[in-house]
Amino acid sequence: MRPRTEARFAVGTRAGPCSMIWKAWVQADEAYLACRVFGKYQKVSFHSTGLAQWSMTDDWVKQNPSRRNQERHVARWRFEDASPGHASLMFKVQVPYSEVRAIPAPQDNKKVFWVSAVPPEATVRFLFYLTGVNAVEPAPPETDERRKLFALKLRSGRWFVALIDLISLSADDLKRARAAVIEQFWPSASTAELVEARAVLFGPPSRDESDCHGLIELCLAEA
């Protein structure tokens, strides 16, 4: 079987409440992340040069003639390459279960790695690692707290591996983040207009050396 080069993932179920559908993919020696709602205009990319960036896409630049290519990078940073037999933590996508909503089911039949049976107070954390060169797909040890979701193979023989675990995030912090996004981008929006609105917030790593850059998904209307 040929190694997969792309994977979709989400919290919830196809027929029930769910998060946005996210996508990870690799092309040659580059790896990427985006979500279905914003995928045409935003993506996170990890380049073979060791440069990572959260950027607006070429489609965003072309949408407005006044925009310039150099304006599309929201954040840029560097990452360390992993040595053989090891892996580097690259990025995290966090989806609090409080942000899962009932939305129309996907109209296509593309495979999605659904993460379900999540406690209401928990946050699903998708952790992305880049390995050194491995001839076979990595099989990191799984525990009750953390398990492998999928692995994508780069041309160099390295792997972009997704693990998941559950953490707890402060409900008050999520509420404040939601309010800050609304105040900045939708200050005049009605409650009805916010019901279907979602946002992603980018954050740098904390002072913890084991942390990394990441995004957190938010619904702008409270459940």
AA letter at 93? V
pTM above the 0.75 mark?
yes
Q: Which CA distances in Å does 54 have to 11, 46, 117, 175, 215? A: 22, 9, 30, 24, 10
Residue 130 structure tokens:
């880049």
What is the reported pLDDT for 27?
A: 95
Q: Give the phi and the psi of residue 4 in degrees, each rounded to 5.
A: -70, 150
**Nearest-angstrom CA–CA distance, 128 and 22:** 13
Residue 81 structure tokens:
């390459």
Per residue in 90-126, pLDDT (tens digit) is 999 999 999 998 877 777 788 999 999 999 999 999 9
Residue 132 structure tokens:
């050194």
Per residue in 20-43, pLDDT (tens digit) is 999 999 999 999 999 877 766 788
